[in-house]
């Protein structure tokens, strides 16, 4: 996406708030009347017309993340294999969550069915949109996605898929809540956000391929304007796949890290924003833009999830992950193996970065 005057203005404002925070802290340290950094930043933000985006953090907390992961990893959802009763349970739950968050359905429904590549099963992408503005409808979109399907029950054994990919799904649902809460407070975005819970990832990314086909054929219509959402209107695709674990730390050994692949498809200053948001909003994660330092595995892993159809068609695309672990595709990929405090910080960082992209 181009460095528009609006985007540059937003970055300048963020930098200004950062400097203001430091200035307030310096004044307090120098013995001036007691002024908290948080309050000083809020006051300045109010004067220049900015919301305090940290309010969005109030809707995501560790216990809730764990309860949600437990639900999607439970026997009720049966491992969420495409075309099964457990997958249907998960899909209905996601649709209810989107409705509660105020996302708009497409053509009256949150579910978009498709045949998998083997034509043996019917999958269901669950999709909803948070409009940028109703008064002045926008014609640009960012897609945020995560797959919800997993292996299901094989040979009588349940594969819960807590990290793969209940963690990504729960992160997606949390982001929808965060953006919806800020919109309720009156915030307006320059792009609409399309949230997609993909089905069929484990079956050659059938759900993501189907969504791309629908976009390419102009079959997806904006719920507000009725106009076709075509590929040229998609500014960026963000995918979240396996983001709840700390079992495969980076070289430093820190547990609190995040891997962001695909940054090379974005302007350089977008990565600057990511680092800035990491410091400014308290995530303080170790950031890696490669898959454990390997060029080969970075290229490979970047193409192993639902952003691939978008990458192949020239859409700037980013994958957020905490990497593959020894629990991958095992029966012991369970909710208790995830690191919820770190997962929350990852969600918070992704939210604030996306907020600046809008």
DSSP β-bridge partners for residue 239: 145, 319
% of the chain surpassing 70 pLDDT:
86
Q: Are 261 and 301 in contact (CB under 8 A)?
A: yes
Q: Which pLDDT score is estimated for 6?
A: 41
pTM for the predicted model, two decimal places:
0.87
Q: Fold for domain 55-357?
A: Aminopeptidase (3.40.630)
pLDDT at position 45 over 80: no
Q: Is the pLDDT of residue 239 over 80?
A: yes
**What is the three-class DSSP state of 239?**
strand
Q: What is the phi/psi pair of residue 18, to 5°?
A: -60, -45
Q: Is the peptide bond before 292 cis (omega within 30 degrees of 0)?
A: no
Mean pLDDT confidence for 266-295? 93
Cα–Cα distances in Å, from 11 out to 6, 147, 273? Answer: 9, 31, 8
**What is the structure's pLDDT at 50?**
52
Q: Which one is predicted more confidently, 98 or 118?
A: 98
Does the pLDDT value for residue 260 go beyond 90? Answer: yes
Which stretch of DSSP H or E encloses residue 263? none
Q: What is the pLDDT of residue 39?
A: 35
The pLDDT of residue 52 is 76
- pLDDT at residue 305 is higher than 70: yes
Q: How many residues does the chain have?
A: 358
Q: Is the pLDDT of residue 292 over 60?
A: yes
Per-residue pLDDT at 10: 52
pLDDT tens, 64-79? 999 999 999 999 999 9
CB atoms within 10 A of CB 119: 8
**Interhelix angle for 340-357 vs 168-184, to 10°?**
50
Average model confidence (pLDDT) across the chain = 88
Cβ–Cβ under 8 Å, residues 250 and 330: no
The continuous run of DSSP H or E covering 288 comes out as strand 286-288
User: Which pLDDT score, from 0 to 100, does residue 113 have?
Assistant: 96
Determine the average pLDDT of the residues in 177-202. Answer: 95
Q: How much is the pLDDT for 43?
A: 37
The residues, ordered by sequence, that sit 6+ positions from 97 with a Cβ below 8 Å of its Cβ are 173, 176
**Mind listing the pLDDT tens digit for each residue in 6-38?**
454 455 555 544 444 443 333 333 333 333 333
Question: Helix H segments across 133-283?
Answer: 168-184, 206-216, 268-280
pLDDT class of 51 with cuts at 50, 70, 90:
low
SS3 content of the chain, % helix, strand, coil (to 5): 45, 15, 40
Q: Give the separation between CA 112 and CA 125, rounded to whole angstroms.
A: 5
Average pLDDT over residues 269-283: 93
Token readout for 280 is 């400014």
pLDDT at 78 (0 to 100): 98
Mean pLDDT, rounded, for 137-158: 96
Question: Looking at residue 250, what is its pLDDT?
Answer: 95
Q: 244 near 339, Cβ under 8 Å?
A: yes
pLDDT of residue 54: 85
pLDDT of residue 23: 35
């Amino acid at each position: 996406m181009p460095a528009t005057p609006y985007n540059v203005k937003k970055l300048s404002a963020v930098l200004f708030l950062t400097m203001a925070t430091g200035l307030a802290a310096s004044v307090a340290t120098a013995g001036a009347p007691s002024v908290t950094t948080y309050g000083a930043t809020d006051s300045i933000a109010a004067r220049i017309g900015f919301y305090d985006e940290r309010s969005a953090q109030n809707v995501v907390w560790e216990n809730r993340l764990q309860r949600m992961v437990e639900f999607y990893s439970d026997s009720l959802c049966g491992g969420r294999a495409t075309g099964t009763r457990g997958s249907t349970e998960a899909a209905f739950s996601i649709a209810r969550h989107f409705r509660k968050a105020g996302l708009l359905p497409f053509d009256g429904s949150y579910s978009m069915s498709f045949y998998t590549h083997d034509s043996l099963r019917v999958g269901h992408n669950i999709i909803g949109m948070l409009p940028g503005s109703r008064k002045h409808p926008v014609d640009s979109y960012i897609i945020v996605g995560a797959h919800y399907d997993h292996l299901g029950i094989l040979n009588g054994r349940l594969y819960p898929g807590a990290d793969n990919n209940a963690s990504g799904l729960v992160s997606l649902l949390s982001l929808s809540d965060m953006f919806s809460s800020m919109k309720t407070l009156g915030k307006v975005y320059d792009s609409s956000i399309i949230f997609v819970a993909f089905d069929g990832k484990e079956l050659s990314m059938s759900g993501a391929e189907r969504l791309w086909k629908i976009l390419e054929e102009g079959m997806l219509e904006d719920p507000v304007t009725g106009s076709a959402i075509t590929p040229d209107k998609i500014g960026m695709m963000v995918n979240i796949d396996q983001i709840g674990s700390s079992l495969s730390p980076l070289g430093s050994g820190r547990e609190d890290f995040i891997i962001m692949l695909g940054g090379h498809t974005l302007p350089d200053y977008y990565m600057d924003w990511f680092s800035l948001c990491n410091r400014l909003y308290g995530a303080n994660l170790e950031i890696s833009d490669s898959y454990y330092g390997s060029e080969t595995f970075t290229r490979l892993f970047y193409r192993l999830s639902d952003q691939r159809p978008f990458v192949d068609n020239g859409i700037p695309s980013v994958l957020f992950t905490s990497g593959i672990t020894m629990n991958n595709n095992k029966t012991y990929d369970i909710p208790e193996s995830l690191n919820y405090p770190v997962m929350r910080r990852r969600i918070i960082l992704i939210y604030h970065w996306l907020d600046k992209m809008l």
